[in-house]
Chain A
Amino acid sequence: MAVMTQTASPDPVQPASGGDRIARFFREYYIYFVLVAVVVLLSVANLDKFDLFERGNFLNQNNIINILRVSAPLLTLAGAFTLLMVSGYIDLSVGSAMSLSAVIYALLAINGVPFLPAFALTVVAGAGLGAINGFLVVRLRITPVIATLITLSLYKGLALLLVQDGVSAIKSGGGLKMPSWFNTYGRVGTFLELPAAFWVAVIVTVILIVAQNRTLLGKYAAATGGNPTAAKLSGINTGAIVFLLYVIVGMTAALAGIARSSFMSLGDPLSGDGMELTAILVVLLGGTAFSGGEGRVIKSFIGALIIMALTVGMLTLVPAYFQTLVLGAALLAAAASNHLVSRKESRS
């Protein structure tokens, strides 16, 4: 079995023709071009003084830091969400899981639990929320969209329940006070003036990139999404893979909740509202196939940066209520391009 045989064809590792190569290059790197284009566009549109990096302009250091700081929750989520979608599944409850985690984290902190235990307990809780999703989908065989729609509602209800009547969020007041360390994690610069929450997002993404490219988890996820029947007949325990991915998504949702809660200095039971749509948008923008099988963690990370740059960059240009509209249009563009690419490929 181990003996290498020479092949008849010249060198099977070499890629194909020139035109093919250009198409492949574009498909591989288009997301980076989009990022550059968005940054250039926003810089020009926001230009109000001559120096690009001056205060008030898009490329100003404080502006960039601000964007990256508020991006932390989405950046944390995007990678795990990508792997789940690559395996052909979806989690609509991420936003609610994030809200619930934010509330849990704030509750722990305000009741005197120190940073690290509060952090760890919240992440464990997030894993539990993911495990519930995994159980509903894998064990009870409820359609992923339905199952996570149910938990979207459940987790959100639970988050609202944990916040007392008469207040909108967990915050200082009524004899309890948020500890002073609470907003350090999401707001205060630690390295390169960026807060720990951002660096955690980067670390999570790096871990998931390695997991996707260099471990069996990535291979199994792609096989499960590419052809579930063939994956099962190839001896892959697809149920276990999907369950594990739901747990990972739950954990990143908890990390996102912690980041958001710390940034806002309160436990808002609605802080994750709409996050599932943004996550889907980001992942599709990164070229992940909605049907599963294809998609890259790194591209979703870039996609998340694009969306956050757009969201923040547009603030000075158009009224806030336009943003949702623009994001919807971006999702439409992403879905359409996804469709066009796959149609073109199936034709060739």
Chain B
Amino acid sequence: MTGQEPDAVLSVENLTKDYPGVRAVDDVSFSIQSRTIHCLVGENGAGKSTLVKMLTGALKPTSGTMKVRGADYRPGNPHDAREGGIATLFQELHVVDELTVQENLTLGMEESRFGFLVKSDLDRRVVATLKAIEPSIDPATRVSRLSVAQKQIVEIARAASSGASVIIMDEPTAALSEREVERLFGVIRRLRESDVTVVYISHKLDEIFDLGDAVTVLRDGKHIATKPLSEVAGRAELIQMMIGRTVFQSYTPRDTVTDDTVLVARNLSNHLLQDVSFHINRGEIVGFYGLVGAGKTEIARAVFGADRFTGSVHFKGKDIGGSPERAIASGIALVPEERRTQGLFTSMTIRENIPVMNLRRLSNGGVYRSSAERAAAVEYVGKLSIATDTIEKHAEKLSGGNQQKVVLSKCLFADADLLLLDEPTRGVDVGAKTEIYAIIRDLADRGNAVAVFSSELEEVLGLCDRILLLFSGSLEEEIANGPEVDVAHILHVVTGGGEHAVQ
């Protein structure tokens, strides 16, 4: 696998990337054959995105080499990567809505004489490329009139016409409908015919079997296998490679789980969710597990009243749908997915952050009690052992784990009976993770209901009493956690192998 195969367009050798305290990519070597669709799979945290960032010049490897057609390739920035013939299609699109398709395709590559634009064969070339991969898009149309899927294709055409020999696509189907996915696949296949290699990253295993020529599996930063998909026996084998023999056994059944239902959600539907119904009991930790785009955050936000939806949410028998204000008032608190942008007031101190969800508690007839605020801050800094020398420290200066503890403190201070925790340990170091898990268990032990929305299987398996599996906005299956839980089955369901998805 490490050798220079004759037809390799891109290869990496002994590639390693260290972050402080973590080795994200560990001695990875493999090569990608020219004119193939090469899939890259692995669980969250397997090292896929770090690898892609190194290939596109956004990150520098700690050690190891990368080669393009046998020549050393050391991109210092994304521009170098383009020069080297490697283009990336990111999830967020970089097209200018106000320009036409053709103007977008030639953007930044126009030729001019004395500052005036001149015609060149460039226009003919880009139009030819676009026609070759997607004839239905008129080059004279304004991009603002195209759908997301079509914009994506324009961006692919731009990459292809700028001479890229490798195009990396990171979860390109996340925002597409089924028909659009089919069309994108057509485009990708035609790219292959026109000598472009595609590196395709997706969580959806069906897509990989449908589209790919070869697959590379990463797990915990290590290279597990690279082989033609024709040699992979099926989903089960791929899943096996992705999860390995990792034993997830930190779950111990908890005896505080009750039958006393506090939350009933019925037929939640919106732009992503399809008819999701579930309930949560007092003293219980319920996990919502699914991949990117499965609808975890959408469920949390719907229950919290932060997004619009149809269906009903009853908390302690009362309809509370509407707004975060009403949700908090009736005893629900949310730890949002994005800590820095949604959960934390980074320019404020710890002391100011902690009471934000329940400021009324610190106010007497409108007069704010600063001494009570200080006391509360000291109390929670102690209770959750937030590592800081002063409660006057600005939240932005704390580590990820301590920031998350501040966000948790906000929710605890709100005296919520139901906590919705969206990715509670994302970007948090291992030590703080363990502490946060202990806090969550303690909350449930004291009779609170907790919902954990996570894309980390280990987290859900270690923490939750009951696990709801999601795929593409619908609730596929509910399983009870325990020693005999079938990990392969869970992965089968959340990658689109469940009953619903077949229909």
Contacts and interface: CB of A to CB of B under 8 A. Distances in A.
Interface stretch (A6-14, A65-73, A133-141): A6-14
A220 B397 CA distance: 22
Contact of A233 (B324, B375, B381): B324
A227 B345 contact: yes
A235 B358 CA distance: 8
A309 interface: no
Interface stretch (A39-47, A109-117, A211-219, A331-339): A211-219
A218 B370 CA distance: 12
A93 B459 CA distance: 53
Interface in B346-375: 346-348, 352, 356-357, 359-360, 363, 366-368, 370, 374-375
A1 interface: yes
Contacts of B282: none
Contact of B342 (A5, A6, A222, A230): A230
A233 B416 CA distance: 14
Contacts of B320: none
Nearest to B338: A229
B345 A13 contact: no
B343 interface: yes
B345 A12 contact: no
B362 to A, nearest CB: 9
Contact of A236 (B346, B356, B391, B412): B356
A223 interface: yes
A204 to B, nearest CB: 18
Nearest to B341: A229
A8 B415 CA distance: 24
A9 B382 CA distance: 8
B388 A223 contact: no
Contacts of B370: 213-214
B381 A12 contact: yes
A5 B328 contact: no
Contacts of B343: 230, 233
B391 to A, nearest CB: 5
A12 B348 contact: no
A230 B345 contact: yes
Contacts of B306: 232-233
Interface residues of A, number: 40
A229 B346 CA distance: 12
A299 to B, nearest CB: 16
B160 interface: no
B385 interface: yes
Contact of B390 (A16, A229, A231, A348): A16
Contacts of A6: 382
Interface in A272-323: 289, 293-294
A12 B375 CA distance: 11
A173 interface: no
Interface in B369-425: 370, 374-375, 377-379, 381-383, 385, 387-394, 396-397, 410, 412, 414-415
Contact of A222 (B348, B379, B410): B348
Contact of A219 (B323, B342, B359, B387): B359
B390 A12 contact: yes
In terms of DSSP, what is the predominant structure of the interface of chain A? loop
Nearest to B306: A233
A232 to B, nearest CB: 6
A234 B388 contact: no
A1 B415 contact: yes
A61 interface: no
A10 B381 CA distance: 12
A214 B390 contact: no
B472 to A, nearest CB: 25
Nearest to B360: A216
B383 to A, nearest CB: 5
In the complex, which of the residues B306, B334, B345, B356 has the most CB atoms of chain A within 10 Å of its own CB atom?
Answer: B356
A9 B378 CA distance: 10
Given A227-B345, A229-B341, A220 B378 contact: no
A215 B381 contact: no
B265 interface: no
B329 interface: yes
B325 interface: yes
Contacts of B357: 234-235
A233 B334 contact: yes
B379 A5 contact: yes
Nearest to B411: A234
B328 A234 contact: yes
A12 B378 contact: yes
Contact of A215 (B327, B363, B378): B363
B378 A13 contact: yes
In the complex, which of the residues A7, A220, A231 has the most CB atoms of chain B within 10 Å of its own CB atom?
Answer: A7
Contacts of A220: 359
A142 B415 CA distance: 36
A15 interface: yes
B212 interface: no
A4 B347 contact: no
Contact of B328 (A1, A8, A235, A346): A235
A78 B374 CA distance: 29
Contacts of A235: 323-325, 327-329, 357, 414
Contacts of A234: 324, 328, 356-357, 410
B382 A219 contact: no
Given A214-B368, A216-B360, A234-B357, A15 B390 contact: yes
A233 B304 contact: yes
Contact of A237 (B325, B342, B348, B367): B325
A230 to B, nearest CB: 5
30 contacts: A1-B412, A4-B379, A8-B382, A9-B389, A10-B389, A12-B377, A12-B388, A12-B389, A12-B390, A14-B390, A16-B392, A213-B368, A214-B367, A215-B363, A216-B363, A219-B359, A219-B368, A222-B345, A223-B348, A226-B345, A226-B346, A227-B345, A229-B342, A230-B336, A230-B343, A234-B410, A235-B324, A236-B356, A289-B347, A346-B396
Top 5 A-B residue pairs of the complex, sorted by shortest distance between their CB atoms: A235-B328, A7-B382, A5-B382, A226-B345, A235-B325
Interface of A: 1, 3-10, 12-16, 213-216, 218-220, 222-223, 226-227, 229-237, 289, 293-294, 345-346, 348
